[in-house]
Amino acid sequence: MPVRIVLADDHRIVREGLRDLLERRTDLKVVGEAADGEAAVRLAHELAPDIVILDVSMPKLNGIEATRQIVAVCPSVRVLALSMHSDRRFVIEMLKAGASGYLLKDGAFDELIHAIESVMARAAYLSPAITDMVVKEYIASLPGEERSAFGVLTPREREVLQLLAEGLPTKAIAARLLLSVKTVETYRQQIMEKLDLHSVAELTKYAIREGLTSL
């Protein structure tokens, strides 16, 4: 029985390239593709793959929040982050969200295969390039880390912030998240107060810096 994989990346050429490489092996099968975080969560629920390979920066719902939702709804699905970001915040938050592995896009294809094998064996996998950084982060327990978006804001507030930063009007955000317009406006006010930011432009810059959106 081949390992069933869902690919989630907002760049079609990346997905097609990975699919081609993965399906040259008889022990791997790509069963679905997603171009954004919301689709990745939906496909994980619908297809129940063995692994979801996803990027950290994706539209609609970033990889960190998508991972959190996937492991909450489908605990048997393993999430493997494949990203260009080696920043410690992305790595740490992906692991906190429940990802089983994290590797960089500039690595060799053989490393991806090794990561898949490790994750399927219920072992965590980290690219050698970022292993030292992750260890130092946990040992140091740096003060001030909780000021990041993932420490200050709730998951729902982060969803609202991402959609605000991606240019969606309040009514559209309310419809997407199944909330009232008033509730979304309340979330926006809470976010601004918590972050001490005073405009959508400032919120957008913050969201980009924190990795909530790649815009």
Q: What pLDDT band is residue 164 in, cutting at 50, 70 and 90?
A: very high
Other Cβ atoms less than 10 A from the Cβ of 130: the count is 20
In single-letter form, the type of residue at position 209 comes to: R
Contact 207, 214 (CB under 8 A): no
Mean pLDDT value of segment 110-122: 90
* 124, pLDDT greater than 80: yes
Alpha carbons within 13 angstroms on the beta-carbon side of residue 73 total 16
Residues 25-61 have pLDDT tens digits of 889 999 999 999 999 999 999 999 999 999 988 888 9
Contact 71, 77 (CB under 8 A): yes
Contact 165, 215 (CB under 8 A): yes
What are the start and end residues of each CATH 1.10.10.10 domain in the chain?
145-209
pTM for the full model?
Answer: 0.70
Mean pLDDT value of segment 103-128: 87
Cα–Cα–Cα angle for 195, 197, 200, rounded to 5 degrees: 120
Alpha carbons within 13 angstroms on the beta-carbon side of residue 200 total 11
What are the start and end residues of each CATH 3.40.50.2300 domain in the chain?
3-140
Terminal Cα-to-Cα distance of the chain (whole angstroms)? 39
- CATH superfamily to which 3-140 belongs: Response regulator (3.40.50.2300)
Percent of the chain's residues with pLDDT above 90: 49
The overall average pLDDT reported for the chain is: 87
pLDDT confidence of residue 105:
84
* One CATH from 1.10.600.10, 3.40.50.300, 3.40.50.1820, 1.10.10.10 for 145-209: 1.10.10.10
